[in-house]
Amino acid sequence: MICHVGVLARPDLETQFSGINMSEYILDQMTWATVKETRFETAVLPWGATEAHNLHLPYGTDTFQAVAVGLESCRRASERGARVVLLPAIPFGVHTQQEDIRLTINMNPSTQELVLRDLIDSLENAGVRKLVILNGHGGNSFRQMIREIQTSTSVFLCEANWYMLGNKEEIFEHQGDHAGEMETSVMMHIKPDLVLPLEKAGSGAERTFKIKALRERRVWAPRKWSEVTDDTGVGDPSSSSADKGVRYLEQVLEELSKFLIDLDASDPTNLYT
């Protein structure tokens, strides 16, 4: 069986897809013979990033995670009749405050908007009526782009930050926001071959703003990453486990796949009660 972007590394994960034709909902595995005969209602676009994730996780962590969540949520929705198609992932995110960290690849928000506009044009031409931007990187934010682009397209646009769909407080002891317990646990489940032993990880200790309102996030400003953390992580990964990753992902996947099914059945011109 072909694995999409290498995210299905474990045999127990692969067995989830036995008997399922993945080419029915994964665009980059489809042929024209399938595409020309299939009507897709909703497209899912995983949007990740390429950046350092502490000392134990790979640069592609955000993209691996977004693809894995998109793959499984589309599978579940497709099995229940939703007309969904998973688009190839975009692996570059906004890193304007991390450019001094080697090989962190930045894509400015203005560039992201141009890319998004071109993709939406192609989807609209293909008759796709809805697009879910499945975001996997905290530095990305598509809300303002959606507000502007929505006025010029008939494609219904929405953003889902997959890492906000589960209840982290129920599962994880430490609530860091980058390469900490949650991300490490998820990667230990979906891509264990790329996770170094936890004893090799940095502590993920964070230096916070001196100004109270900024420190408490009542006022927002971007963080200068190399001044915030010594190991590029923010959050203690020491209590991570694959089991916690499984439990958290199940919450995320249940909510996201249900949303895709509901969105598939909805009329984008009649969304309000």
Looking up residue 51, the CATH number of its domain turns out to be: 3.40.50.10310
Identify whether 2 is part of a domain.
no
Residue 53 forms part of a structural domain:
yes
Domain count, the chain: 1
Per cent of the chain over pLDDT 70 is: 92
DSSP 201-266: S-----PPPSSHHHHTTSS-----HHHH-SSS-BS--TT--HHHHHHHHHHHHHHHHHHHHHHHHS
Is 10 part of a structural domain of the chain?
Answer: no
**Is 36 among the domain residues?**
yes
Provide the pLDDT for residue 248. Answer: 98
pLDDT at 24: 84
Indicate whether 4 pLDDT > 50. no
Mean predicted confidence (pLDDT) in 21-36: 87
* pLDDT at residue 56 is higher than 70: yes
Structural domain includes residue 235 = yes
Per-residue model confidence (pLDDT) at position 22 = 62
Residue 231 belongs to domain spanning: 16-265
pTM of model > 0.85: yes
pLDDT at 21: 58
In this predicted model, what pLDDT tens digit does every residue of 217-270 receive, in sequence order? Answer: 999 999 999 999 999 999 999 999 999 999 999 999 999 999 999 999 999 999
Q: Which residues of 136-156 are buried (b: 16+ CB within 10 A; e: fewer)?
A: bbbbbebeebbeebeeeeebb
